[in-house]
Structures are given as structure tokens and as C-alpha cells.
Amino acid sequence: MGFAENVRLAPQRTMRSLLISLSHRRSLARLAVRSPLTRPVVARFVAGESLDEALPAIGVLAGAGFRTTVDVLGESVTSPEHASAAVDRYLATIAALSERRLDPNVSVKLTQMGLEIDRDLCRANVMRIVEAVRGVSGFVRIDMEDNTRTEATLDTWRAAYAAYPGVGVVIQSALRRSSADVDAIIAAGGRVRLCKGAYDEPASVAYRTKAAVDANYARLMERLLMADASPAIATHDPRLIARAIEIVEGEGIGRDRFEFQMLYGVRRDLQRALVARGYTVRIYVPFGQEWYPYFMRRLAERPANVGFMLRAVLKEEGRRLRGR
């Protein structure tokens, strides 16, 4: 990377680091959740604050030909009681999805299951969700968080996968270790959701430039597709999507052997275009009152979203003032 590109990308990196840092500020979270100005913006990325609000949105996606995976928002719980309550919300979600003949497919963060309290507690909570999903022939994806939790996440995935094959895990192309992790998961017969990564990681463990993260994503994606490992290609990057299509069409890989995954409210035009071409697209649908950390990471992934947010807030404030 040349000097000019480093200068051009520096403000983006600064903004990304700032937004990720702000995602951990509980005082800002309380302020954001209470403010009516944030709601119209957050609604673009979060399907509601309750299961009753989220289910209609999931139904609309299903009617439009999309598959879904549901994230009951929450992370970094501080007590066993909060972790148990999070499990209960997942169990209610799985039951509701099954009753409505929607995808009984959920995504789970281990810090919401009590990873930072006790690993055995976390594993037991995950297994409660796995058993519920097994009962409806569904699927659980264990989300990956920052690099300090990677090994614990993979250990938990291995234990859950041994109990029920319908358990997958996320791998981030930003991390340097991911090549070895992908090889190990392929060898075990596991299923990977490949994403770029939404955490601000140090250079000692992660690639720090977009070009390097993208190049590693392309390498890992090709390896997963060629291994017939039923990967989930989780990206909104048109170049990487085009490369995936080039690989599967060139190698005769069936469209039932992989899927694209995208976030609720992000690049809806691209989502519709892929479904129209006959590809499977699964939408990651988050809901819940604890949306603030998730929302801030979405802004950090694409700083241009900050402009969108500010315009929406200003528009809402203008309407409020005109209505006085």
C-alpha cells in the first residue's frame, strides 16, 4: 500500500476505531436506547425490540424468498441469571419460528451465554439452545467475537457439534489464524460462516488493511467452496460475491452446497438481485432491546453509514420542529 492510500484510509480507520470503542460505552447505550431520534435509524438494521415485532419482519423476508437466521441481541452478560434469561429468550424464539414454519435457525454470541462468567456455565447454556434446535431439526450458528475469545468459541463449537451436527461457527478473515482454523473445521466436517470481522484487532493477530482482509477472505472462500463444506459466504462486497459465483459456476458446484448471507437492512438491492438469480440468500435478523453494541459495529463496518444515520436524525428532528 502506497503513502497516498494510507493517508486516504487513515480517517476511515480512525472513525472505525472510534465507533467500535463507543460500542462498549454503557452510558452511551442507555442514552441511545432512550432517545426517540435513534429509532428510525436503528429500525433499518434491527427488526424490533421484541419477538412480537421481529416475527412479522422475518415472515416478510420468507415470503420474498429469503432464508433467515435470528440473533436475539445481547452480549457480555454479568450474571448467571442474565445468561439464563438470554437462553430463555432463544428458546421462545426457536419455538415461535417453528410454530410459524419459519427457519428455526439462530445465531448465538457466547458472551451472552456467560462465557466471561464461567466456561462450564456458558457451555451448558449453549447446549440448552442446541437441544431446542435439535428438537425442531434446526440450526445454531455460534458467532465469533473478538480474538481473545476465538479459542474458547471454537472449543464450545466442537463440543456442541459433537452433540448435534446442526451447529456451525463463524470465522473472520481479518484474523491471521483463520487459515488454520478453516482447515481444522473442514477436516471435522463442520460448517463455516465466513465474514470479514467487525472488531478492531491488533496487527499482531489481524490484518489491518482492507486489501489484506479481502485477499484472505477470497482465499478462505475458495478453499471452503472447493472442499464442498457447505459454507455461508457472509459479505456485501460485490467483488467477492462475483468471485464466489465465478468459482461455483466454473467448478459446477451446486447452488444447494453454499449460501450467501447478508445483514438485515444492508444492501437490500444486492440481496434481491441474488435471489432473483436463483441463489440462496440468508438474512441475519437481529432483534432485542440490547441493540446498541450491534448497531455501532454496523456503523463501524461502513463509516458511510454514519452519514446515513445523521441525515435520518436531522430529518426526524426537522419533522418534530415543524410539528410544534
295 or 101: which leads in pLDDT: 101
Write the pLDDT tens digit of every residue in 258-293.
Answer: 999 999 988 999 999 999 999 999 999 999 987 776
Domain assignment present for residue 34? The answer is: no
pLDDT at 321 exceeding the cut of 60? no
Alpha-carbon distances, residue 50 vs 56, 65, 248, 283, 291 (angstroms): 11, 23, 38, 18, 11
pLDDT of residue 8: 41
Q: Is 288 helix (H, G, I), strand (E, B) or coil?
A: coil
pLDDT of 313 reads 44
Per the annotation, the verdict on 143 as an active-site residue is yes
Only one residue has cell 432517545, namely 35
pLDDT on residue 36: 57
- Stretch 42-60: mean pLDDT: 91
Q: How confident is the model at residue 315 (pLDDT cuts 50, 70, 90)?
A: low
**Selected catalytic residue, list 71, 103, 143, 214:** 143
For residues 193 and 234, the answer to whether their CB atoms sit within 8 Å is yes
Which amino acid would we find at residue 25?
Answer: R
Residue 120 belongs to a domain with what CATH number?
3.20.20.220
Residue 302 domain-assigned? yes
Any domain includes 19: no
Domain extent at residue 197: 51-318
DSSP 143-180: ----GGGHHHHHHHHHHHHHH-S-EEEEEETTBTTHHH
Answer whether residue 39 is part of any domain. no
Contacts of 229 (CB under 8 A, 6+ apart): 185, 186, 190, 191, 192
Query: Does residue 163 lie within any of the structural domains?
Result: yes
Is-catalytic flag, 103? no
Q: Has residue 9 been placed in a domain?
A: no
| Count of structural domains, the chain | 1
Cell numbers standing for residue 188: 471435522
Domain assignment present for residue 179? The answer is yes
From 16, 123, 134, 193, the catalytic residue: 193
Quote the CA–CA distance of 160 and 166 in Å, as a whole number: 9
Q: Is residue 130 part of a domain?
A: yes
Residue 18 has pLDDT above 70, yes or no: no
What are 104's three cell numbers?
Answer: 428455526
pLDDT-above-70 percentage for the chain:
77
Instruction: Say which range, 20-29, 239-248, 301-310, has the weakest mean pLDDT.
Output: 20-29
